[in-house]
Structure 1
Amino acid sequence: MDLSRLGTPTGPMIRVHGGFANRMYRLDTDQGSFAVKELNLVDRRWPYRAGDVFRFERAAFAAGIPMPEPISAGPHALVHRWVDGEKLPEAPVPPAYAFEIGEILARLHALDVAWPHGSAEDPPPRDWPELAERATATGQPWAAELASQVGTFLAIADFVDTCERPGPVVLTHKDIQPWNLLVRRGRPVVLDWELSGMLDLAGELGSTALSLAKGPGFDDIRPAIFRAVLDGYVAGGGALPPPGPSWFVFMVGGWLGHTRWNILRCLAGVEAGTGPDLALSHASVRDGVRGLPELFGRLPELEALVR
């Protein structure tokens, strides 16, 4: 990566651990501090639209969306100006924070930015029996849990494949989750825009509101926090889509694909040069194998949050 345009370094580039898909570094120069994200090009789950995402980010930044300033985007790396802030704790966010996230989404969806790509998704994976067999044969630490949930994972794939999505479809961030948010002076900062694209509105709202309204697992879901996101969306000029399971199908399908992707990295058994560390992939698999069946079983309860 040629980072010379960012100025003269005042120290070595420092790895910032914890990314679920790519690798992040902090670079301090005489022109400021920058977040340099090295893109995983080895086993991406979909093509990365660097130029289109950069245009969308620039439009969002110009519109005052609280986010790091996008500096450059190329085929191998993304650069943003570094923003200091606190990570969100693994707990329901304060109501005012949830409300502001809803407002941010409404403002984001109102931007007039051309997007030359559709919203097509890959079919949900159905090779869970084969993956469980390979996990058992290679002695993966989560193999028994995966094998016991094969039927549930196939049922989840059926749900993702058949659930109707009533629309509208919007251009949006697609991944406003606690790990992609900071707290700065009590207010949100939205990070990690590389998944941006077209998405059914219900899926965006359901995924965002649920992730902000709960702590670890699904035993502590705060309906008032969930509704605060939706109230903020309406206050920001947005209109809510009709209630139904489509509010949660994007979250379920995304987690399903993410779990499979990490399973394949674990089955390879080697530390890849890009993307998450192998230990993080194992942790992601364990979370998916345990959490997805619980999420799927609670869908009727979750649907009540939007009625």
Structure 2
Amino acid sequence: MIRVHGGYANRMYRLDTDHGSFAVKELNLDDRRWTHHVEDVFRFERAAFDAGIPMPEPISASHGTLVHRWVEGEKVPEAPVSAAYAFEIGEILARIHALDVAWTRVSIEDPTPRDWSELAARAVATGQPWADELASHVETFLAIAHFVDTCERPGPVVLTHRDIQPWNLLSREGRPVVLDWELSGMLDLSGELGSTALSLAKGPGFDDIKPAIFRSVLDGYVAGGGALPPSGPSWFVFMIGGWLGHTRWNILRCLAGVDVSTGPGLALSHQSVRNGVRGLPELFGRLPEIEALLV
């Protein structure tokens, strides 16, 4: 097997055999942020693949390893996609949400951690390169945590991918291929649409947002038979909460200072922390502007 670098949570390998090529994903089981319901996700993936959703064929799933048929395609850069690509992603989401798949898992969300002062103090004491920036934003991170816990979600709740972002997509002859389904589960529809549409309509920061691309995702969703939920801050709370949790998880990895055998390397964790410490306060501060611009 050949290691394929770049994953933010797990480790990926390519396996070439007489029966074709396969993507073998080694799940991070040492310090993962959530329980991975392997059998449920695999059943959902099989239903999506059988329904013609453009995605790698799921081959097998076990406690620590996922296997899919390898799909060739171009990586999708973190930049606004074309209107046609965005429209097709919207259609794909509508088709996913229309799948009739039993899902008995009930997600019980714990309160968002509020230990940002303690984390900042530990970062300063251990000389982390991003410690001063984190310390200067502690109050903002506490406000973000409060927002995540108190923002009203209007529903409906749908069974969905939950993580359609540029790094989980390929472009094959200009059309989407959806990768990395292991976060699949129930989610408020507005959170899924807002997270997906915003990520496809912008570059790495928030100065290059294309409202027309955001709306193309929504137009595709409606064309695919979906109905849009009411506009409001709930469209972005899932994205903000996910990024907040991802940043905190990587902070803990950096504070431990150990390059563990699964999950991202320590250098990638430091990069993720820097991105979160700088990007989250900006996103949170511009939330009213983004909401008014896009929805």
Report the TM-score when normalising by structure 2: 0.99
Choose from 214, 237, 245 the match for 1:249.
237
* Equivalence map 1:241-280=2 (5 Å): 241-280=229-268
Partner deviation per Cα, 1:124-147 (whole Å, 9 max, x = no partner): 121000000000011000000000
Contact 2:151–2:237 (Cα < 8 Å) also in 1: yes
Contact 1:67–1:190 (Cα < 8 Å) also in 2: yes
SS in 2 for 1:25: strand
Whole-angstrom CA distance in 2 between matches of 1:118 and 1:200: 13
Contact 2:211–2:294 (Cα < 8 Å) also in 1: no
Choose from 187, 202, 208 the match for 2:190.
202
Structure 2 residue runs without a partner (length 5+):
none
Q: Is 1:119–2:107 an aligned residue pair?
A: yes
* Equivalence map 1:91-170=2 (5 Å): 91-170=79-158
Whole-angstrom CA distance in 1 between matches of 2:110 and 2:158: 18
Give the stretch that moved more between structures: 115-124 or 148-157.
115-124
Contact 2:162–2:183 (Cα < 8 Å) also in 1: yes
SS in 2 for 1:198: strand
What is the deviation of 1:306? 4.6
Whole-angstrom CA distance in 1 between matches of 2:294 and 2:231: 6
* Equivalence map 1:228-243=2 (5 Å): 228-243=216-231
What is the deviation of 1:48? 0.5
Query: For residue 222 of structure 2, what is the amino acid of its counterpart?
Result: V
SS in 2 for 1:227: helix
Contact 1:57–1:193 (Cα < 8 Å) also in 2: yes
Aligned to 1:69: 57
Contact 1:226–1:305 (Cα < 8 Å) also in 2: no
Partner deviation per Cα, 1:140-176 (whole Å, 9 max, x = no partner): 0000000000000000001001000010000000000
Whole-angstrom CA distance in 2 between matches of 1:67 and 1:125: 34
Whole-angstrom CA distance in 2 between matches of 1:99 and 1:211: 14
Query: For residue 204 of structure 1, what is the amino acid of its counterpart?
Result: E
Aligned to 1:291: 279
Whole-angstrom CA distance in 2 between matches of 1:28 and 1:199: 36
Whole-angstrom CA distance in 2 between matches of 1:171 and 1:45: 20
Query: For residue 137 of structure 2, what is the amino acid of its counterpart?
Result: Q
Aligned to 2:178: 190
Report the TM-score when normalising by structure 1: 0.95
Aligned to 1:25: 13
Aligned to 2:4: 16
Whole-angstrom CA distance in 2 between matches of 1:302 and 1:43: 34
Whole-angstrom CA distance in 2 between matches of 1:58 and 1:34: 16
Structure 1 residue runs without a partner (length 5+):
1-12
Aligned to 1:221: 209
Give the number of equivalent residue pairs: 295
Contact 1:119–1:199 (Cα < 8 Å) also in 2: no
What is the deviation of 1:123? 1.5
Whole-angstrom CA distance in 1 between matches of 2:268 and 2:161: 24
What is the deviation of 1:118? 1.8
Query: For residue 244 of structure 2, what is the amino acid of its counterpart?
Result: L
Contact 1:243–1:306 (Cα < 8 Å) also in 2: no
Give the stretch that moved more between structures: 24-33 or 83-92.
83-92
What is the deviation of 1:113? 0.2
Partner deviation per Cα, 1:195-214 (whole Å, 9 max, x = no partner): 00000000000000000000
Partner deviation per Cα, 1:226-252 (whole Å, 9 max, x = no partner): 000000000000000000000000000
SS in 2 for 1:171: strand
Aligned to 2:70: 82
SS in 1 for 2:290: helix
Whole-angstrom CA distance in 1 between matches of 2:77 and 2:251: 27
Partner deviation per Cα, 1:276-303 (whole Å, 9 max, x = no partner): 0110000000000000000001110121
Q: Is 1:57–2:45 an aligned residue pair?
A: yes
Contact 1:20–1:276 (Cα < 8 Å) also in 2: yes
Contact 1:107–1:236 (Cα < 8 Å) also in 2: yes
